[in-house]
Chain A
Amino acid sequence: MRKVSITAALCMAVLCRGAMASAPTEALQRRIKQIEDAVAGVCAKADRGQLKEPMRVQFPSIGEQVPATDLRFAYDTLDRDMDAAVEQIDRLEKKLLALRKQESAQPERPLTFEERLRRAEAEAPAPAASRSAPAFDVFQSYEETVRDRRAMRDAQAEADMGRVAEERRQAEALQTARKEAEQKIQEQNRQWQEELDTQARKHAEAEEQWKREHSAGAFVKNAVRTVVGGAVTSFAGGFASSVGGGLADKVVRDNFSGFRPRGEYDREAHK
């Protein structure tokens, strides 16, 4: 019976620790959402012309991790106010990511006997002197002081060099990451372009085939139709009409369907 209750208590403790660990991240995520919702609300108000008076958005702090939020929005300074809100969200998001990283890096596990001893030692108060300090040699002390100072200076210089090297490494890593991101974007653009090319080629082939089969005067139209190598489209001038129903036309029409009244647009988005 005792064994069972100890096991249950341990399980509860582990569960509680887990819940406590995830609570700050959830609170942070909730706070970000609250700020985002508030920003959306302010934007909607501004859109309707109802943001005549400056508006204050305040949320209280939650525990130690989530600080209080105090934002101000006024029509005249909306641009800057929004930047401030975005900055706040960024800060909270950084904190949230750091906490999540910490949580995933340190899985909860019971401490070993040695770790418990070390922790107890670290937490114990410093021992108080039980008698007066012994007499010491002033010259020996001087020598020790000089040696310590030199050692400290060397250590400082080494640390500085290390820091510079680390900063350089970080800058290089950042540069590499930026280059990789750019390459990725370019690669995606290239793939998109290839996809467009493929679709256009297929479209052109199908159209040609159809016209060969169905249109007596097709060869005249074929003479002016063109699928431009890079961007699959037609020239803006006279050739454009000869690629009736081409991909560029579809892209243009699709893009402008977003300019219809919102109701219709939303229906399309939910399909």
Chain B
Amino acid sequence: MKKVIFCALILLGCFAGAARADDPYEAGLAIIDGEGFAGLDRAVEQFKVAVELPGRARDARLGIARARILQYELSEQPRSTWLDEARAELDVLIRARAMDAEAQFLMSQLLLDEQKPDEAMTFLRRAALAAPDREDIAGAYFYRLLDLNQIEQARLYAQRRLQDAPSGAMALLMAQGLLDAGQPQAAEELASLGLSANPKQPDLLAVSAQALKAMSEYEKAIARLNELLRVAPTRSEALFELGLLYGMMNKYDQAIEWTRGFLDLEPGNISALNNLAIYLEQRGDQAAAAAVWRQILELPDVETAFRRRAEDRLSAAAK
């Protein structure tokens, strides 16, 4: 009996393997896996065969569209016919299913390639509405809003997106975007939302600390960085930032201690040496500061600004 079952399983496996080998859609994907960019034309040929197969038409059409868009974006001599071909496939899909998120998303990429940002935004927005669980689409929509300088809309969208289900990755992406757009308070709100569900996410802690620093909330930023060091002791930038924050608060003993800690991990870091020398000067430790300025001048390929400052401070100390 066991033998019969075993043989049946082997036969089933053979049939499944044969079916997979005969599937032109899978064959197209395999070509891309193997050949990458160079295989796109051959993959498209396979996808075109797959369009005729029941149950494969949508995937195959999306495959053709994506391949052609990538060819257009990555080729040295992009052909507009590639985009035409992609559009034809996407039109079919959108006509069949008005809210096909994947097709809408690709259409928005295509329209951006054609320098039609307003139309692209319409499709991107529909895609984001149709598939709220797709983080790539939500992220693209959010960053598009930021690109178009619609910062308040981006902020509202991010808040809605994260309110119910704060995903760490999305919170990080959106908080970083708002921080880069000069909105530290909004960035901190989102980072806090993300941290409420993912309290030990090191990148979120780091972004939150940056936002708090930008808001001049130094004590809170220090607390975040200490938390970051607890969950990720190898994040050396936290030591640097702690030195910087204590320096900004004129607490030079702590600033020197943290900056030296950072230099133990990254000796010769010019920014840290520069900061250390300044903190030592501020504390009144002129001899130690001079030693660090000299250390800066001995480094190879020092940027002019750092070199000039070190020379100025040393000559001022000599007078």
Task: Write the residues of chain A forming the contact surface with B, with a CB cutoff of 8 angstroms.
Answer: 29, 32-33, 36-37, 39-40, 42-43, 46-47, 78-79, 82, 85-86, 93, 96-97, 100, 177, 180-182, 184-185, 188, 228-231, 233-236, 240-241, 245-246, 248-253, 255-256, 258-259, 266, 269-271
Contacts and interface: CB of A to CB of B under 8 A. Distances in A.
B102 to A, nearest CB: 8
A248 B167 CA distance: 30
A256 B130 contact: no
A252 B98 CA distance: 27
Nearest to B153: A93
Majority SS at the chain A contact face: helix
Contacts, number: 130
Nearest to A85: B129
B160 A32 contact: yes
Given A230-B76, A236-B38, A259-B66, 6 more contacts: A36-B160, A47-B99, A188-B147, A234-B37, A252-B32, A269-B169
A73 to B, nearest CB: 10
B126 A185 contact: no
Given A231-B73, A252-B37, A39 B129 contact: yes
A222 to B, nearest CB: 18
Majority SS at the chain B contact face: helix
Interface stretch (B131-139, B189-197, B210-218, B241-249): B131-139
Q: How large is the interface on B (under 10, 10 to 19, 20 to 34, 35 or more residues)?
A: 35 or more
Contacts of A233: 37, 74-76
B169 A40 contact: no
Nearest to A33: B160
B32 A43 contact: no
B26 to A, nearest CB: 11
B268 interface: no
Contact of A86 (B125, B133, B153): B125
A185 B33 contact: no
Interface string B73-108: 111100000000000000000000111010000000
